[in-house]
A and B are shown apart, each in its own frame.
Chain A
């Protein structure tokens, strides 16, 4: 009975999270093959300028992405995709199987989300598209990486402390 009550009370809890989930999944649509949502988002004005179909645009975006992104950044993107996958699986588990150790779910989930945004930040700071310098080992690149490690350490400290 108590277990049931907890489950019932906490059941709807993940509901507030959806804004995070779809957003992060749409974000990685760039890292993963471009999904239909991204193509539809970008297609609206695009079709006005170039008279091509939605799939075509998505395809060109994807091709361009593969062509222009350097290897290191692709690695970061793959990691981000993996994090989204981990977060998605945890969320799915929470929805389907219940969120009984809620602390554990939260810390696992937020570890994935937090690591994702940290990696995205690192990517923004180091990727050649934002900073013209292509070399990763510039002072700013090293600094960004040090920051990244600092942030990750704090993140995982809190997660482990919270996991119970």
Chain B
């Protein structure tokens, strides 16, 4: 039996080569699976950029490819945030665009002409393959079992928590950032293990790349110092830690400061202070360790602890003092909202309004991680069992990331890698214990040999129980069933939940065939072809990037929500009466107003549903003029039917959404299918805007802002006159005082 060809192949030197080859093949297959499971959207729809932010990244990439790196760096974009403009080159993370630009030029150099759009669409799947590879390396550092790394790579490749941000077409910063995150951590672990400057410097380089790619780099900036700090507190100081950490910090901080958007933040912002503090602390500890070589005293441990406490306390007090006195910038608002989930809702509606900043719902954990989420604690426990430096890292990471993932939906993304590591550790231990227990003909004796490397299990369980074929069969088959279920779940989630481009909607016809609803692009191309190149389009900020990317028209606000006042201005224009809104529109040179209306189709992500956020954000700036309370009925309901409040019915948003809507229902009563409301028989009247375009399913409605009246009348009078009313009756309407803006 021992001389069978299989054993020859699996043992000794040949065996090592065979296993290496197998491992490479498996990793290649995993990468292929990771890439291909992300292609649902390309196959179902087409090669198109998804959602909102990717449209900006795509536009910036096109600019980079067309104009070259230097003009990209200095890019001042006057077609967004009209009339302010945006210093785009200095306010973005350029890593993503530069990466795809480099890929584009390499492919061009190799005479493979590829459209930049296809590179952008396929960048995220491509990098997910690399992420699986990086995951393999990271997990291999954690475990001696070779299967753990492969399992982790497989998990990472298809886990929905990561797929949600990396399907083909979601060309967002996270597409490459997760790869960089995992790889930076791998390099860091490697640096801590080896204590060499080279690994530390490589960590710093990839950290710098990460900084250039995603704002989430702050997570690394705080996690690595925390790891070092915990190791110090455990009394595990060694020169390896000093070398890797100081090298990483000195080089990494310099690298991060090369990005204009980050700039001096690493020395000013409180988010980065812990890294600096640990850097200083480590110098002290190193010095103390150095002095210890000369003092043969046993009191040294105590001295060291005292010193740590004193210095750390002093640094903390200094930090607090500096923060209070305003030298160091206070913690950013997004950061506060991490600790106090209610903070954003009260203080910064603009942050709270973003859907991905909402707290995570509990089912989401299972939805995104499936059975990994309950292997996760087991894996963390495994790390406690042999508590080496790298296991401490896993434990800290999992504790922090679990908390953050519970606070913000989008941070599920940072939790996913560590869940994959921990789950792979747990599962590989189970499989190793049960599968490898008895390969030979004499199960019992062999089992003792093989499981001797698993002290706890072999000590706890009697050999007969573990090695009997029944228990093996049960455990292995149940693990396989869970794995298969996991694959099925991942595929199902990817195909159903995460593969919609949200620019193109799909629905099913009664006969089961697919029906594509393409209103967004229809409307944006209408804008592109029927309006002057410089026509300013006002819409809620969600659609700013898409208008810029697809319609190529200047916008007032977009998804880079850096100017709250400007957004509030748009919110005020949307939520006020026409008489108030019109001057605002004129002052901002608005030519067209775009609203999204889902009432006809039952599309729930429309502007009326987002309307309260506009009101809230406007109320934050003009509490006297816009009041959220006025949009609720006396019973506290948010209604759009004939019970709606007068403020609601007179608001520009309401009017634009329902203007002429009742004409769709000849004779019958107009129904809003999203909110299930019957609308008043008479639709709202618009006097300062005129309908310019309405898409096929009424999802996008575009209105043109009227010019001033030729006869110097105000618009309501003019409209009333055109309709044949007498002037007297017309003036009876609510008389606007200030209409002319000039």
Contacts and interface: CB of A to CB of B under 8 A. Distances in A.
Contacts of B264: 13, 102, 106
B299 A150 contact: no
Contacts of B298: 49
B287 A30 contact: yes
B268 A16 contact: yes
A125 B255 CA distance: 25
A148 B197 contact: yes
A118 to B, nearest CB: 6
B303 A118 contact: no
Interface in A12-71: 12-13, 15-20, 22-24, 26-27, 29-30, 38, 41-42, 44-46, 48-49, 57, 60-61, 64-65
A44 B299 contact: yes
Nearest to A20: B280
Contacts of A118: 197, 246-247, 250
Given A41-B307, A154-B201, A110 B254 contact: yes
Nearest to B257: A162
B198 A151 contact: yes
A21 B283 CA distance: 10
Nearest to B299: A45
B70 interface: no
A7 interface: no
A121 B284 contact: no
A114 interface: yes
A130 B200 CA distance: 19
B98 to A, nearest CB: 15
A121 B247 contact: yes
B197 A41 contact: no
A148 B258 CA distance: 22
Contacts of A46: 295, 297, 299
Interface centre among A20, A110, A117 (most CB of B within 10 A): A117
Interface centre among B288, B294, B300, B303 (most CB of A within 10 A): B294
A106 B15 CA distance: 54
A144 interface: yes
A162 B250 contact: no
Nearest to A65: B294
A45 B302 contact: yes
Contacts of A117: 246-247, 249-250, 283
A49 B300 CA distance: 11
Interface string B123-136: 00000000000000
A162 B258 contact: yes
Interface centre among B196, B249, B284 (most CB of A within 10 A): B196
Nearest to A114: B250
B197 A150 contact: yes
A120 B242 contact: yes
Given A49-B299, A121-B242, A151-B198, A41 B288 contact: yes
A15 B315 CA distance: 12
Given A12-B327, A48-B299, A154-B205, A19 B255 contact: no
Contacts of A142: none
B279 interface: yes
A158 B201 CA distance: 12
B273 to A, nearest CB: 7
A16 B294 contact: no
A124 B303 contact: no
B276 interface: yes
Contacts of A48: 299
A53 to B, nearest CB: 15
B254 A16 contact: no
Given A117-B250, A124-B243, A13 B299 contact: no
B291 interface: yes
Nearest to B277: A19
Nearest to A107: B254
A22 B310 CA distance: 14
B250 to A, nearest CB: 4
A61 B197 contact: no
Contacts of A94: none
Interface residues of B, number: 55
Given A45-B299, A121-B243, A124-B242, A20 B279 contact: yes
Contact of A13 (B196, B254, B267, B294): B267
A6 interface: no
Contacts of B300: 45
A155 interface: yes
Contacts of A15: 322, 327-328
Interface string A117-159: 1101110110001100000000000011011101100110011
B297 A45 contact: yes
Contacts of A129: 293
A66 to B, nearest CB: 11
Contacts of B295: 42, 46, 57, 61
Interface in B176-235: 195-198, 200-201, 204-205
A29 B279 CA distance: 17
A18 B318 contact: yes
B576 interface: no
Contacts of B197: 118, 121-122, 144, 147-148, 150-151
B253 interface: yes
Given A16-B322, A19-B318, A124-B243, A27 B287 contact: yes
A159 B253 CA distance: 11
A45 B250 contact: no
Contacts of B303: 41-42, 44-45
Contacts of B327: 12-13, 15-16
Interface in A59-93: 60-61, 64-65
A49 B93 CA distance: 57
Nearest to B310: A41
Given A19-B277, A114-B251, A151 B200 contact: yes
B395 to A, nearest CB: 27
Contacts of B253: 110
A123 to B, nearest CB: 9
B432 to A, nearest CB: 34
Given A16-B327, A27-B283, A158-B255, 6 more contacts: A17-B267, A19-B315, A22-B280, A38-B291, A42-B291, A151-B247
Interface of B: 195-198, 200-201, 204-205, 239, 242-243, 246-247, 249-251, 253-255, 257-258, 264, 267-268, 273, 276-277, 279-281, 283-284, 286-288, 290-291, 293-295, 297-300, 302-303, 306-307, 311, 315, 318, 322, 325, 327-328
5 contacts: A29-B287, A30-B291, A124-B243, A124-B286, A151-B247
Interface of A: 12-13, 15-20, 22-24, 26-27, 29-30, 38, 41-42, 44-46, 48-49, 57, 60-61, 64-65, 102, 106-107, 110, 113-114, 117-118, 120-122, 124-125, 129-130, 143-144, 146-148, 150-151, 154-155, 158-159, 161-162
The 3 closest A-B pairs by CB, nearest first: A45-B299, A114-B250, A19-B280
